[in-house]
Structure 1
Amino acid sequence: MITDEGLAERPRLRLAQASDLRRHQRVTVALLGRYMLADRREYPCQTMDMSPGGVRLTCAVVGAVGERVVLYLEHIGRIEGVIVRHPPGGFAVQLAATPRKRDKIASQLTWLANREMLGLPEGRSHERLVPKQPGVVVRLESGREIQARVIDISLSGAALASIATPPIGAAVTVGRTPGRLVRYFDGGFGVQFMLPLSPDRFHDGMTL
């Protein structure tokens, strides 16, 4: 929740309000996700902008205009819609949602927009689990390999225990999963995956 004190410290900042977003104002937001086309093929994607009524995606495989698509987006969850146009690099979806669902999306987008504007820390958006086989090799772009232990993992990233400290922003490959180093903590570092893991392989017996 944004406090009065926070507003006082940033007098020129106009925060997004859910009431504005319910009128389908678009928010520029980059959320990782996956989508399934009508033939049940599944692919990774990232949002470019979104409103409670629609979303524009960047992705490698483009469905046909009029085709039904099911989306799973971090922070938002599962939503459905129809492809309505093909902007460069992806497609735009008109969402099929109840008024209650649209209100929920508006509130989530409001929080995301305000978090970005105020520089608030990113919360954990996904369930996290501890794998049964936590040992993993982390490879840097230079070819250097680091032995690490997975503390916990989510669809979008992992916390790794290691004595090594690659630089923030470094491109890394955790096992076979590409990502980037986004934070340090005592005894290790956090990695955000370049593309989210598929939910069907997310279990404690999984390997990266």
Structure 2
Amino acid sequence: MRSAAINHAPSTVEKRNFQRVRVNIYGRYMLEDRTEHPCQVMDMSPGNVALRCNQTGRPGEKVIVYLDHLGRIEGVVTRTMADGFAMTIIASDRKRDKLAAQLTWLANKHELDLPEDRRHERVAPRKAISTLQLADGRQYACRIIDLSLSGAAVELDVKPALGVQVILGTMRGQVVRHFEDGIAIEFAVVQRPETLDAEFN
């Protein structure tokens, strides 16, 4: 019995079973020419993902993506869009099951008020006073309560809306939570320890 060829496109049944969810995840991806680019997930299922980015791949091009919370995934570009591209995820059944569980958790964690994902240790920076800049150029003095490789808790007088893009010092990110005295920011990419040290310590 001849083994079946690997088919990169999901079958009709697979497409029907995979429900895409809107999740707010940042990451990086590498194209076949080995260039790396930042990206943001628009929506995702265990079988495919739509990425918002500046540099799109070609249909049929293999892509490796590293996503916050989810790790490394591989796939093939299926179509390009004005602000990004969609790709089919190539993964084992076990990996797809794991992705399904992770996506369900990510999609529901805000509604369920689950604790934040503490992937990285939070520390109080030595240089706590910084500047928060909004996309329209407005700037506000702020105090960093604590900081990790993936985000920061910031005390300030204004509360930008959830999902708003901001720059803390030189770190790009977005507002993911409000609390009494300020906001929590998730960085667009996971930072290196030496980058944070140079910026805030």
Partner of residue 196 from structure 1, selected from 173, 181, 189? 189
Give the distance between the partners of 2:36 and 2:126, measured in 1 at CA. 27
Counting matched residue pairs gives 181
Partner of residue 199 from structure 2, selected from 183, 191, 207? 207
Instruction: Indicate conservation of the 8 Å contact 1:74/1:125, yes or no.
Output: no
Give the distance between the partners of 2:97 and 2:37, measured in 1 at CA. 27
Aligned residue for 1:72, secondary structure, equals: strand
Structure 2: gaps spanning 5 or more residues? 1-13
Aligned to 1:130: 123
Instruction: Indicate conservation of the 8 Å contact 1:28/1:50, yes or no.
Output: yes
> What are the Cα deviations for residues 40-62 of structure 1, in whole angstroms up to 9, with x where unaligned?
22211111221111111111110
Give the distance between the partners of 2:75 and 2:147, measured in 1 at CA. 33
Structure 1 residue 119: deviation in Å?
Answer: 5.0
Instruction: Indicate conservation of the 8 Å contact 2:51/2:85, yes or no.
Output: yes
Instruction: Indicate conservation of the 8 Å contact 2:124/2:144, yes or no.
Output: no
Aligned to 2:103: 109
Aligned to 1:17: none
Instruction: Indicate conservation of the 8 Å contact 1:131/1:205, yes or no.
Output: no
> What are the Cα deviations for residues 100-120 of structure 1, in whole angstroms up to 9, with x where unaligned?
11100011122233346x453
- Using a 3 Å threshold, how does the CA distance of structure 1 residues 98 and 131 change in structure 2: closer, same or farther? farther
TM-score (norm 2): 0.72
The structure whose RCO (Cα within 8 Å, separation 6+) is larger is 1
- Using a 3 Å threshold, how does the CA distance of structure 1 residues 180 and 130 change in structure 2: closer, same or farther? same
Aligned to 2:92: 98
Q: Percent identity?
A: 37
Give the distance between the partners of 1:113 and 1:139, measured in 2 at CA. 27
Name which of structure 1's ranges 120-129 and 36-45 shifts more when overlaid on structure 2: 120-129
Name which of structure 1's ranges 33-42 and 172-181 shifts more when overlaid on structure 2: 172-181
Partner of residue 152 from structure 1, selected from 147, 152, 158? 147
Give the distance between the partners of 2:81 and 2:142, measured in 1 at CA. 42
Aligned to 1:66: 60
Aligned residue for 2:113, secondary structure, equals: coil
Give the distance between the partners of 1:114 and 1:190, measured in 2 at CA. 18
How do 1:1-208 residues align onto structure 2 when only pairs under 5 Å count? Answer: 23-115=17-109, 118=111, 120-121=113-114, 123-124=116-117, 126-130=119-123, 133-141=126-134, 143-149=138-144, 151-155=146-150, 157-160=151-154, 162=155, 164-169=156-161, 172-181=166-175, 182-185=177-180, 189-193=183-187, 195-197=188-190, 201-203=192-194, 205-207=197-199
User: Pairwise CA RMSD of aligned residues?
Assistant: 3.1
